Every structure is written in structure tokens, then in C-alpha cells.
A and B are shown apart, each in its own frame.
Chain A
Amino acid sequence: MAFCIAVIGKDNAPLYLTTSDMEQELDLQYHVNAALDVVEEKCLIGKGSPESKELYLGLLYSTENHKIYGFVTNTRVKFIVVIDSSNVALRENEVRAIFRNLHLLYTDAICNPFYIPGESLTSKKFDRAVQKLMSGTA
């Protein structure tokens, strides 16, 4: 369902990144990296009213093959999901659901006392859950 799911730390270094297609990984990473531009811009605009801050950023940008959605937590950790453009069936609500689940998974993962904040996520459980989320069987 999704091509790529990425968790990016507040200093814009990736904490976790997985793709469904290993061959495209580099290209997708470039895309995800570039999407941060839009995330930053959107966060900048949203700065004015922190109360009503919507974590879900919506569609960041789309290319011919991909649609890239963004989500930012209160701690400025960004989630990026890359989805196939041709998949018209996927609705925005479903994307939101993916992010919501991802957020839960992320909070669970960093609740681990052995996790060092700011380091990359290596939890196997998290990885498994994200893979499921990506394939749409979550």
C-alpha cells in the first residue's frame, strides 16, 4: 500500500526508514529528504497557533509515481509516508489512519527505557509493525 515509511528526528536525520522496494530505496530516500522542505515550511506556517496545531500535514507533494504525506509530532519528529500515485482507491482518511497508527507505534518504541532519544530506531517489534502497516495488513 505504501512505498516507504520514514521516521525523521527533529534535527532532520532519519531515525527509521523502510521501503517496500529495495531497488528504489535511494530514490525514495531522496524524495523523503526533499519532502522535509515542505514539512519545514508547513511547520513554520503552523507556528502561529500552537494550540490548534494539526499534527497531520496532509499531502506534501506528489510526483508522477508517488504521493508523499507528512505528519509531525509535538516533539518535531516527522513521519513521512510515500504512497503510490496510481492507487486512486486510497483515501485521505486511510492515510490519516496510517499516521495515527505509526504515531502509536513510535511512542511505544521510544517508551523503551533502553532507547536513546535521538538515535535510530532499531526495535524489531517496531519494524515488524511498520512493515505490516506498510503492506496494509495492519
Chain B
Amino acid sequence: MTMDATALPSELLVTPQPLVGFCGLDTARVSVHKAVWEAFSGSLQRKAADRAAVQYKLLPPNYEFPVAKPKRASYEWYHPKGILKRNWMLKHLHVLPSVVVLFQDMEWNDLQWTEKQVQCAAIVQALKNALQERNTRLCLVLLQRAAPLPPGEDLLAAERAASLTNACGITSKMLFILPHTEHLTGYALRLESAFLDMAQSYYALMSKRIRNHRDQLTAAHTSLKIRHQFKLGFVAEMRQDFSTGQKHYFQAYANLDEIRINDGNCLEIKTLAGFLNYKICRLMFKLKTPRDAINQFIIHVDKYKSRVGFKDLAFEHHAWLSTQHSVFAELFCEAIKNGLPALQTQHPGIYYHKAAEFVMKRRDAALEAYAAMQASSEATPTPIQNPLSLYTEFFGIRAVKTGDLVAEQQANMQLCDQERSYNHSAGIIALLSQAMAQFKIYKCLRFRKKLAIDMAEEYFKSGDHAKALTLYSLMLPDYRQEKWATIFTDVLLKTLRCALLSGSVADYIACSVEALSLRHQSEQSERILILENLWQVFQGVPPMPKTQLTPEAQTLWTSALPNVKSPIQIDLDKVNDVVEMCATFERVQLNNDDLLQLQLIVRVLTDVPLRIRSFHVILADAGNPQNSYKLEALKYFCFPTLTQLRGQKQPDDEQLENQPQEPKNFEKNMRLEPGSYYQLFCSTEAQQFHENTQLRIVRLEAHMGTDQVAALLTCSSNYSRHLFRHHTRSRDLDDNVTINPICYIAPTFHLDTQTNLGHGHDNGLTDGKEVVATKMLVNEYFPVVTTVSNPYNVYLQNVGVHISIPVGLRNSVFLTTDISPGRQKLHSQIQIDVGELSAHGSNTATFYIFSLTEAEIKLAQRLSYTLDVDRGPGGGSSNARVSTAPNSSESTPDHEVKSVIPSVAAISPVQIEYLDETRLRKSREDTLTVRCYGDFKFTARFYTMDRKPLNQVYRGENFLLRANTEVVAVDDVEILDSFFICDHNLVQSNYSFKQKKYTNKYSAGEQLESVIVLRTNATLRDWTTARDLDHRGKLEGKTVASKFIRPVPKPSSEEPLAPTPPAGISAYMSKSLVTKIPTTMTIINSNSAVSNALQVANAGVMSNSMQSDDVNVAEEAINTQEGIKTTRLIYNKALEAVQGTGHCRGFIKGIYTLEGNPSAVPIFGVFCIRWRRANCKEENESKFVIRGLDIAEPPLNIYCTIEEKMFVKMPMAFKVVLKNPTTHVLHLIANLSISKTDNFICSGHKQLDISIMAYEEKELVYNLYPLQVGWQELPVLSLEYNTKADPQKKDSQNALLDELVQRALPKRVFVLPPLKQQNK
């Protein structure tokens, strides 16, 4: 039982429940009993929601029931000493059961039934005696092992039950059987409802008795009335009749008003009012009328708020109020837990908070009372009596005789004394923390903060400075953010005080620095004091004069100071308004060898001067922020106003004169005056940073203090401009300063290149001469000279130029470094090693571009070198030259090397890789653009011998190839030679015997023509190709193919390959060709010792495709025969290639090489033009592939021979040779008809039947004697099949034959006049 008069007793707080007492159970020893007890009372049961609220009590065998008081006959003159007895509720809750249940182990068929029955009856009798004068019900439960039989069947049971009830003197309804089998819980539940019924009737009876009592009372018995109402309410609650209970409680509460309150009974009335109010509110919440409950509580508090009672015991009143609030808050919480929704403005937190406030008032009152007591009674306070002696058996009544002033005084003093031992702070803090939890739930975060501040204050008052400091410093950022200056100042100063008292150096320094800000509403003198104290701390001395510091704090400080983890970080982003700092890079971009310069602008925002030990700027790579660098500011300028700082930014002459020429050196602990602007400078060499990185200002740091203790004011560099701010030019820093938060360290590339294109720069050094550039032509080896120079004082190694052709042009554009006669290795990418370049050295690299198409060629040029990183500090900077590092030397065909001024490119084209610790490789990608122009436009056409367009070639017949060439080259060219290299299956002869001469220079637009007679001796099917040769060679066991394939030379080899390797092949070729196909050994070109045969060797075959017969495309397909190789070998100079084969004609391996796309159209040969630029030495060849026609097998070959010159009256032979190319015998009828008889006189067979054997020839000879001069029509020979001799031939085939004849035989002949000699 608590002795605190104001607290509510625990019996009041619980929900009253009917009490049922169990006896006869020996739970300690008998397991069955234990199981039964647990079935009723155990946690198992409590889970059932629908379970009736019953409280069980295990009664020991000799339990003493309270003795009932003798009934009073009349209450007329009865005056109770108090309203409610302390033990009444307890008695009915825990002591006096409404039902007593006796458990007995008795089986119906027990052998010792009679003895047990007697024993049981005795116990029942004893209980009955004990419960005399009570209405307590008694019932008997038999614990049996077996399940009972249905009633009426077990005769023995019925009989014995009857005898037992008789013996015990109870009704049969009071006898229960509890079989302790598996369904114990179920049985227990059923029994419980039976017990509850009995309990209900007991309590109903009880309330009836109380009502009887009440009805006897007169109006004078107010206190008794209240008591009875309370009891009725309580009993109603026991019966679970809550609305009745509430009614009674409310009646009692109303009756309290009838009692006049004076100092003496005030405590009792308030206590009772509190009890009743609690009950009412609780039931109201339970009955789902929370508004009523809250109203009731507010009315209650209003009613009794002013009833203080004894002035000396005001603290008691406050304690009572506090309890009222906290208890109500708990009720509220309980209701919320049961589903009541609360509001932001109406929730338990408010009541907890009020409760806490009342505890504070209670403490104040107690202190007051104690002080008053000390002052008034010099006499020593009476020795502490037993505190219990102050209380009576009634609630709220002291054991002091009313009206006895001295005794009252004594009692009050004693209470005061007791009050002093109460820990108010703990109570306040507990209540506040509960309130905070509630406020947090209901989204009152600011209120919660306020509560936290209150709590911190309470900790502070209770002397727990460390906890107070923790709480304060937690709240500090919140209020800082809110920008409530007054509140923040309050909190800050309190924090500072806590830090001072708890000896927390870090917090003390942080708070002091923040307290220097002008935002805090205090005087300058206070700030100076703060500053002085701060410096004292920095110097390792506790702040404040010793006299003002308690000894405990003094010791705390002396022990804390040596252990300070200096420096103490203070984030100026949060603690603003003390020092403003911003930093900027002097330049946005820097070269690697430049000096990196930073500006730091600092201003003291408060009105006291600050001493700053040093300023630092932390930089970091944007790429990898863990690389950070710290720079210290060493020099400074000081400007009293911002305009001067601004003036310095834009130096004009006047300003420069006024300015101090040199910045001053920054000294340690320099004093920064408030209001002035300090411009500080940091500088370092950019070399120490990685190249090609962006440097970012990460943090600005200002050191304040001494070596032992220091504060580190840090501030992030995120200097953001405020949008929509008021523009004050003289005030805002960001209007006056440009901030470059990022600096790009551009890498230095130590090489410059200059590219010269075209002819005329053989030495590669133009020496500034103006040279007309030549334009690149197709099929030309176009020289490119790249001059690589090193303008730096650096020794570079492994300098290399790597040129590559874009992927799209790899089949038509090639590179080479070597154009020595014979052949060239062609590559799609080349690497030219320049070697080493000493300081200021230069070197050239020459290469040639060869293109087969007109296109714009964009070559990727990549320069690379390695250098030692670990170079001397003066290495780069001694060179005064400002590097134009990202100098993209994009060379255009018109020969200008443009150097692009370094733009503000974020990403440099320079790549840097670290080979190892000391060496790095730098490379740069550029593009080299060359436009390639056409050389010739070439068309070719086939004609028959009589100059008709040819659609089909017949085997063994001559036809014409007419090749037209048009010069399209932009520059003048000299054509040295042109020739046709035909396939070896074809026979070539000149159409005219005139020697072609190319002597002139040709310029664009001029045209050339050449006509060539061709003949084939085989149809397309029978063409011998290189493959056949291969095949044949293989059959002979020779690895021909391997001989055709020359070993791939090493691409890196710079030496020109000797033209000898074809020797083996040529030997073989000549041999095989001579031996196998000797007929092909034909020398065609009489003017040349060289036979125009082309041996296209293995890889790098010039296999071409020509679009029909008039397209000039010469495409160099890549031989995929041996897989793709980066290096391809091309016999480029056709003539030399022919020489390489031993003057054999070769195969145009179109079919052979284009295996991916074998064309049905044969290739008849390559037309080749050798040319050179005017005034140049290098010879070039343009080759055009001539795609042929289908070669058909004619049914008959007709060769007509007619003399070249015919003269009048000179006989001549007109010989027609008919050759049968087939395997059959041909039977023909030849008819010669002379249409005009006066032309010729003709002799010979006019009509002749001819039979020609297979592959045989037949000659028809006619003698013609021309009679007239001029164009004369020849006699017409017509052939037709002899259908008689050869019935297979049809007339229709005669048409074909006729066509053949028409084509083959000349129609007219020119007859010359007779020769003079003849005439003579």
C-alpha cells in the first residue's frame, strides 16, 4: 500500500472481478490438482476472449475468512470517521470470495466411499462455519477419473450423489463432477459459467443489502451515502454491469458536492473525488463515450483545481493534480489501444505534459514549504515518526485530530520532510518522456522538441549535466533549422552552460563558436566574453574565472582538457553566420605544367575579431574523390569593402596603382577583423595532380586555436546562389565574385604534328615555302609526310605514329610505307616507329595512301609516346612555352595543318596510361582527312568484226574490244602505256598495226581509244583456269597451292621484299604452262619484249568485277582464300608481275578468287593504263577489269579469206573455210549466187553438197574476177543443211546457219582501179 496520499491505490485501478475461492486443491503435490488449477487460472484460459471475467483464488486448507461485522440496528446516530475504508475494496477483490468451491477426489465406485463422504462433509461443515453471516456460496466439485455416464443410467452414482449432498447439507445443484480426462478445459469452462452464475447472485444479494443500508440513511449521512453509492458502483462493476456502476459512481461524485470543503477534509474529498472521477472516466471510456469522459475530467479538474487545502501542503495538491492528469492520460491511452481515435489537439500526451507540469509545480511548492518551515520553526523538526502513523484506515484522512493546530502543524512538517525525499525530477522526466512519445505519434514534432527542452532542463536541474547536454545538442540542429532566433539563442546558451558544467570540451567549443554569431540576440560584450573563454579553452585552461566555476566542474575540465581530440570539427554549413568562406579556382582549365592557383575569400560575419591559425582548401579529383589534396593559404590581401575586392577582380590601371603590389604573407593566428574581406591565395604546381582530371574544391577549412586544442571550421564548397534574392551589390559576396568550383587539368601532350600531303615534299620539310598541293587520285600512291616534333624539354621514348583506315574503307584503301619498285606491302593500318625524340627534336614519318575509290578518306592517326614521370620539378615549367596541348592537327587535303585552339573541352583527346610506377604512355587520336579524286573514266564494249555490237562470242571467232578512256584526273597526267592483259584462254591481236604513242600530257576531259581483236579457242566450259592447274598439280602429287601462296611476310618488316619469291612459282608456271598448255605461249605485243600475260599470284590477287561491259569500276577484292590477313601482298605493277611469271600469260582468277560470289560471267582480262603525274617520276597503273561475254559453241566455223586489196580485172581467190567444230558429220549444201552479174565473173561450184567430218575442214574456193571499180557486192554464199543426207537437221536450223553465214562472210568489197604497173 502506497503511503503517498495522492496516488491512486492499485485496487482502484484494476477492473473489479468476481472472486471465486478454490479449496481442497493441493497443487504442490498432486499433479491432477495442479492441472485443474491451471485449467481455471492458467494463461491457457486467459486467451479465450469470450471468457467471463472471474478472479480465482486458491484458498489454503485453513483459510481465515474475514469475520462479518455485527449489524447495526440503526444508523441514525452513527457518524463514520471517514468515507471509504482503505481495506474495503481489497477485501472484496482479494479476500472474500463470492463462491467457495471445494474440490474432492471421489470416485463413485470408491471402496472407501463412506469414509470419504464423512470427511468431505466435515470439510463442508467447517467452511460453512467460517462463512457464517456471509452469503458466500459453497459448492462441491468431485474430481473423477472416468467420464460420467449419462444421468439416470448410473444408479450407483445417483444414489451416492444424493447421500453426499445430504451429508454435506448442500443442494444437488451445488454438486459438480469434474472428470480430469482429456477435455479438462471444456469442463472447466462449463464449470466456470456455473460459478459465475453463483457469483452474480452473490453480488446481487450484496448490492441489495447495501441498498437496504442506504435506504435506512437520513439526509445527514452524506458521507455514508457516498460510501454506499461507491460500494454499489463497485459491486455493479463486479457484476459487469458497467452502466449501473457508472450511475452509482456519478451519484457518489455528485454527493461529494454536498460536503463543505475545508482545509481539514479537503484531502479526503479530493481523494474520493479522484477515485470517483477515475472510475467514471474509466467506465465512460469503456462505454465508448470518450467525449463525456474528457468533459468529466475537465470539469473535475476545474472544480478541484482551486481546492488547495493547507497552504503548507500545496505540493500535495499539485501532486494530486499531477496524478489526476497522468492517470487520465493512462486511461486515454488504454482507450486508444482499444480503438479510440485521438486527435492532434486531444490526445494523452497533453495530459502527460500537464501531469509533468504539475510535478514541477509540486516541487516548487515543496521547496517553498520547506523554506517556510525552516524559517518559521527554529525548533528542530520532530524526529521522524513512522510514516504509517500519519494515516488512518480511511482514505484521505490523517491520523491527526482535527482542530488540533499544533498537531496539524507537526503533521504538515513531517509531510514536508517526507516530500523532500521524493525525486521530483525522475517523475517529471518519466512523464515528459511519455508525453513526448504521444506527441510524436500525433505529429506534434515542435511540441515534442519543446518537451525535450523541458526534459533537458529537468536533467540539468537534477544535476545530470551530461544527459541534459545530449538532449540539448540533439535539439540544437532542429531549432537551428527552424531559424527561431530567440528560441535558438535560449537553447544554445543552455547547451553552452551544460557543456561548461559537464566539462565537454568539444561541445563547449562548438557552442562558443556558434554563439559568436550575430544571430544570437546578445550584446557584443557577451560575445567578447565568450571569445575570451574560448581562447582560454584553446590554451588548455578551463573557461571562466576559477571563482565562478564549481570545484566539480573545475576538476572535470582539468581532466577533460588533456584528452581532447583536437581539432574539433565544426561544420560551417550548419553553424553559419560566423565566418563566410568561399573558394574559387583562378582558372577553369590548366595545363599540366602550370601553376594551380586558388582564391579563398573569407569574411568574419560577427562583430568580434577572430584569430585563425590557418586556412586550408581540400581538393579532390572528380573522377576518384578519394584522392584529395590539401592546400594551405599562404598569402592574402585584405579589403575593407566588397567594392575594393571587386575592383581588384577587374584590374584597371587606377586600381592597380592603389593596390598593394604584393600580397602579404599569412601569419599564424592572424587576426581577422570583422567586416573586412580577406582574399587568400593558395597555389601549387598542377603537376602533382593527375592529368586529364577535374579538380573539385571539396572543403574549406579554417583552423582556430592552438596546438593542443583547436577547432576546425569546415565548410563545403557548394556555394549556391540564392534564387530570388535581394540584390545588394555592396553586401553579397556572390554578386561580386566568380566562383569556379571545378578546374580541369588538361594533359600535356608533348608532341606536335604537321602533316604534308601530296607530292613535292619528298624531303618532308617545306621550310615554309608555299607549295601547291596536289590532289590525291585513285590508283595512286599518295605520299603523306608527318612531321612529329617535340617542342618540350622532355625526352620522349617510343614515339610512334599509328595510322589506320576506317573499317568501311578497308577493302578499297590501303596504306604502305614502301613503294620500291616491284611490289608493295599494303596494309590497312600501319605503325611507324619514330623512335626517340630528344628535347626540341623532330622527325618525320612518311607513308602512302592507295585508294581504289573516289572517296573522302578519314584516317585515324594516333600518336603515342612514353615518358618517365619521375622527372625533375623544373622539367616542364622551365620551358616558358605555353603548350597548345590538345592541338588536334587535323590535316585537310589542301595541306593546311590547322591547330585548334584548346577549347574548354571537358574530355581531352589525350589518353594516358601508366605502364608502371615511373613510366606512362600518352597517346592522342587525330583524324587525317584526304579526299581522293578519280583518275580515268573507262568504258569498254565488244563488237563483231564487222563492227556490230556483240552479244555472244562464238568459239574460234574473232571479235573486237573497244576500250574508251577519259581522263578525269584533276591534275595533268602523262600516260605512259596502256595495254590489255587478256586471259590466257583468249588470243589477242592488234587491230591496227599502228603503234600507240602517248606523249602528250593529258588533262581532264581528254579521251583515248584502243581497239583490240580477241579470239577464243574454247567455250567457257572448256576454259582452263588456275584451279584446273592446281587440280592437275595435285594429281601429280605436287603441292601446287603452297607454291602459289607465298609466305606471309612479317608486317613489321620495313625492308622491301625482294621481288624474287615468284621465282619458284614462275619456274613452275613456265614449266607447267609450257608443258601442259603450250598453245597458250603466244607473244602478243610485238612492241614489247614482254608478253602481256598476267600471273596473279596467290594472296592479294587482283580479282575484279566489272559491271557488264561499260563500267570502270575496279575493285580490289581481298582474297579470302587463306583467311583474312592484315598484310596483303599485291603484285601491283602488272608488267613486273608478268615478268615475275617468266613472261607467261596467266589466269585471270576471277572465278577462282571470288569464291564467295562466283560469277557466271568470265573475265576476259584487265585493261591496264600506266600513267604518271606530269613532272613526276612515280608511275602508277590503273587497271580495269573487262568482264566478258558468254562464249558459245557455233554449229560451224566459217572463215572467209579475201585478199586485202582487189584490183579491177585481177582475179582473186575468195576462199571460205568451213570448219566443223562438232563431233558429228555435217552435211551441207553450199550455194553461191551472184545477184548482179556484171560485178564479177565467178568460177567455182555454184552448188555443192559438202560433207565435213568431225573436226575437219572443208575449203570452198571461188575465183572472182572483178569487173568494176568501187564498192561491189560480193556473191552471196548460202549454206543449208542437206536434209536428205542428214534427216535430223530441220529447216529451222537453217536459219541459224544462215545467220552465221551472214555474220561471217563479207558482203561487199572495195575494188581498186588497176595498178599503174599493170596498166602499163
For the complex, is A136 an interface residue (Cβ under 8 Å from B)? Answer: no
Question: Are B446 and A60 closer than 8 Å at their CB atoms?
Answer: no
Contact call A29/B447, Cβ cutoff below 8 A = no
Is B376 in contact with chain A by the CB < 8 A criterion?
A: no
Tell me which residues across on chain B come within 8 A of A60, comparing CB atoms: 345
Within 8 A of A (CB), among B471-492: 482-487, 490
Residue on A nearest B444 in the bound complex, by CB: A37
In the complex, chain A residues whose CB is within 8 Å of the CB of B484: 13-14, 29, 33
Are B482 and A12 interface neighbours, CB within 8 A? Answer: yes
Q: List A residues 79-138 near B (Cβ within 8 Å).
A: 116-117, 119
Contact (Cβ within 8 A) A37 B445: yes
Report if B724 contacts A (CB, 8 A): yes
Alpha-carbon distance A130/B1312, docked complex (angstroms): 137
Instruction: Give the number of residue pairs across the A-B interface with Cβ within 8 Å.
Output: 50
With A30-B450, A116-B726 as known contacts, state yes or no: A11 contacts B344, CB within 8 Å. no
Contact between chains at A38 and B344 (CB < 8 Å): yes
Q: How far is the CB of B151 from chain A (nearest CB, A)?
A: 66
Q: Cβ of B486 and Cβ of A29 under 8 Å apart?
A: yes
Q: Is the CB of B446 within 8 A of A34?
A: yes
- Asked if A54 is an interface residue, CB under 8 A from chain B, the answer is no
CB–CB B446/A61 < 8 A: no
With A41-B344, A61-B345, A116-B726: A36-B446 Cβ-Cβ less than 8 Å = yes
- Complex CA distance for A70 and B449, rounded to whole angstroms: 20
B209 touches A (CB below 8 Å): no
Does B1038 interact with chain A (Cβ within 8 Å)? no
Query: B729 in the interface, Cβ–Cβ < 8 Å?
Result: no
List B residues 428-451 near A (Cβ within 8 Å). 443-447, 449-450
A26 touches which of B354, B444, B487, B725 (Cβ 8 Å): B487
Interface string of A20-59 (1 = CB under 8 A from B): 0000011001100110111011000000000000000000
Partner of A33, one of B354, B443, B482: B482
Q: How large is the interface on B (under 10, 10 to 19, 20 to 34, 35 or more residues)?
A: 20 to 34
Closest to B483 in A: A13
Flag if A26 contacts B482 (CB, 8 Å).
no
- Cα A117 to Cα B722 with chains together (Å): 13
Q: Give chain B residues whose Cβ lies under 8 Å from the Cβ of A41.
A: 344, 443
**Cα separation A41 to B444 with both chains bound (whole Å):** 9
A117-B724 CB under 8 A given contacts A34-B446, A36-B446, A41-B344? yes
A13-B482, A37-B445, A117-B724 known; A30-B487 Cβ under 8 A: yes
Of residues 402 to 461 in B, which have CB atoms within 8 Å of A's CB atoms? 443-447, 449-450, 453
Minimum CB–CB distance from B245 to chain A (whole Å) comes to 31
Which residue of chain A has its CB nearest to the CB of B453?
A: A30
The answer for the CA separation of A30 and B488 in the assembled complex, in Å, is 10
Q: Which residue of A lies closest to B350 (CB)?
A: A61
A residues less than 8 Å from B490 (CB atoms): 26
Whether A33 lies near B450 (C-beta < 8 A) is: yes
Closest to B346 in A: A61
A64 to B724, CA, bound (A): 43
Q: What's the least CB distance linking B432 to chain A, in Å?
A: 14
Max count, chain A CB within 10 A of own CB: residue among B354, B447, B483: B447
A116 partner residues in chain B, CB cutoff 8 A: 725-726
**A38-B450 contact in complex given A12-B482, A25-B486, C-beta closer than 8 Å:** no
Rounded to whole Å, the gap between the CB of A128 and the closest CB of chain B is: 21
| Across-interface contacts of B485 in A (CB, < 8 A) | 14
List the B side residues contacting A40 at CB < 8 Å: 443
Task: Evaluate contact between B345 and A38: CB separation under 8 angstroms.
Answer: yes
- Say whether, besides A26-B490, A60-B345, A11 and B443 are in contact (CB < 8 Å): no
A13 cross-chain contacts in B, Cβ below 8 A: 482-484
Across-interface contacts of A17 in B (CB, < 8 A): 486
Query: Which of A11, A33, A61, A64 sits near B487, CB closer than 8 Å?
Result: A33
Contact status B483-A29, CB under 8 Å: no
Q: How far is the CA of A12 from the CA of B354 in the complex (A)?
A: 26
Residues of B within 8 A of A38 (CB): 344-345, 444
How many angstroms from the CA of A12 to the CA of B450 in the assembled complex? 16
Query: Smallest CB–CB gap between B854 and chain A, Å?
Result: 68
In the complex, which residues of chain A have a beta carbon less than 8 angstroms from the beta carbon of B344? Answer: 37-38, 41
Q: Could you tell me the distance between the alpha carbons of A112 and B345 in the complex, rounded to whole angstroms?
A: 37
Residues of A within 8 A of B487 (CB): 26, 29-30, 33
**Once the chains bind, are A37 and B446 in contact (CB under 8 Å)?**
yes
Q: With the chains together, A33 CA to B725 CA distance in Å? A: 26
- A26 near B486 with CB under 8 A, answer yes
Q: Give the Cβ gap from B1247 to chain A, nearest Cβ, in Å.
A: 119
In the complex, how many angstroms separate the beta carbon of B677 from the nearest chain A beta carbon? 22
Distance in angstroms from A122 CB to nearest chain B CB is 13
Instruction: List, in ascending order, chain A residues with CB within 8 A of B726's CB.
Output: 116, 119
* Contact partners of B486 in chain A: CB under 8 A: 17, 25-26, 29
CA A11 – CA B443 in complex, angstroms?
18
Complex alpha-carbon distance, A14 and B483, angstroms: 7
Chain B residue, CB-CB nearest to A37: B444
B residues in contact with A64, CB < 8 Å: 354
Determine the distance from Cα of A8 to Cα of B445 in the docked complex, in whole angstroms: 17
- Chain B residues with Cβ below 8 Å from A34 are 444, 446-447, 450
User: Smallest CB-CB separation from A30: which chain B residue?
Assistant: B450
Identity of the chain B residue whose Cβ is nearest the Cβ of A17 in the assembled complex: B486
Min C-beta distance of B298 to chain A, whole Å: 11
Contact B443–A37 (Cβ < 8 Å): yes
Task: Give A120 to B931 CA distance when docked, in angstroms.
Answer: 71
A11 CA / B485 CA spacing, docked (Å): 14
- Min CB distance A123 to B, Å, is 15
Tell me which residues across on chain A come within 8 A of B453, comparing CB atoms: 30
A33 and B446 contacting across the interface, CB-CB below 8 Å: yes
**Closest residue of chain A to B486, judged by CB?**
A29
Residues of B within 8 A of A14 (CB): 483-485
Give the residue name and chain of the A residue nearest to B353 (CB).
A63
Q: Which residues of chain B have C-beta atoms less than 8 A from A33's C-beta?
A: 446, 449-450, 482, 484, 487
Interface string of B920-948 (1 = CB under 8 A from A): 00000000000000000000000000000
Q: Give A11 to B482 CA distance when docked, in angstroms.
A: 8
Cβ–Cβ < 8 Å partners of A29 in chain B = 484, 486-487
Determine the distance from Cα of A33 to Cα of B451 in the docked complex, in whole angstroms. Answer: 12
- Complex CA gap A14/B486 in Å reads 10
Q: How far is the CA of A51 from the CA of B449 in the complex (A)?
A: 34
Min distance, Cβ B888 to any Cβ of chain A, angstroms = 50
Look across to chain B and name the residue whose beta carbon is closest to the beta carbon of A25.
B486
A40 to B726, CA, bound (A): 28
- For A12, what are the chain B residues with a Cβ–Cβ distance below 8 Å? 482-483
Q: Which residue of B has the minimal Cβ distance to A26?
A: B490
Q: How far is the CA of A13 from the CA of B443 in the complex (A)?
A: 19
> What residues of B have a CB within 8 angstroms of the CB of A117 in the complex?
724
- In Å, the complex CA distance between A51 and B826 comes to 81
Q: How far is the CB of B460 from chain A (nearest CB, A)?
A: 16
Q: How far is the CA of A68 from the CA of B453 in the complex (A)?
A: 21
Most buried by B among A38, A40, A119: A38
Q: A13, A25, A60 — which one has the most chain B CB atoms within 10 A of its CB?
A: A13
Q: Which residues of A contact B345 (CB under 8 A)?
A: 38, 60-61
Tell me the bound Cα distance from A116 to B724 in angstroms.
10
- A11→B483 CA distance, assembly (Å): 9
CA distance A21 to B345 in the complex (A): 26
Q: Which of B986-1037 contact A (CB under 8 A)?
A: none
CB-CB under 8 A from A25, the residues of chain B are: 486
Q: Whose C-beta in chain A lies nearest to the C-beta of B443?
A: A41
Distance to closest chain B CB from A19 (angstroms): 10
Q: Which chain B residue lies CB-closest to A39?
A: B446
Instruction: Please name 12 further chain A to chain B contacts, defined as beta carbons within 8 Å, in addition to the given A37-B443, A119-B726, sorted by A numbering.
Output: A12-B482, A14-B484, A17-B486, A26-B490, A29-B484, A30-B453, A30-B487, A34-B444, A37-B344, A41-B344, A64-B354, A116-B725
A-B contact pairs, 23 of them (CB 8 A): A13-B482, A13-B484, A14-B483, A14-B484, A14-B485, A25-B486, A26-B486, A29-B484, A29-B486, A30-B453, A30-B487, A33-B484, A34-B444, A34-B446, A37-B443, A38-B444, A41-B344, A60-B345, A64-B354, A116-B725, A116-B726, A117-B724, A119-B726
Q: Which 8 A-B pairs have the closest CB atoms?
A: A13-B483, A116-B726, A34-B447, A37-B444, A34-B446, A37-B446, A30-B450, A61-B345
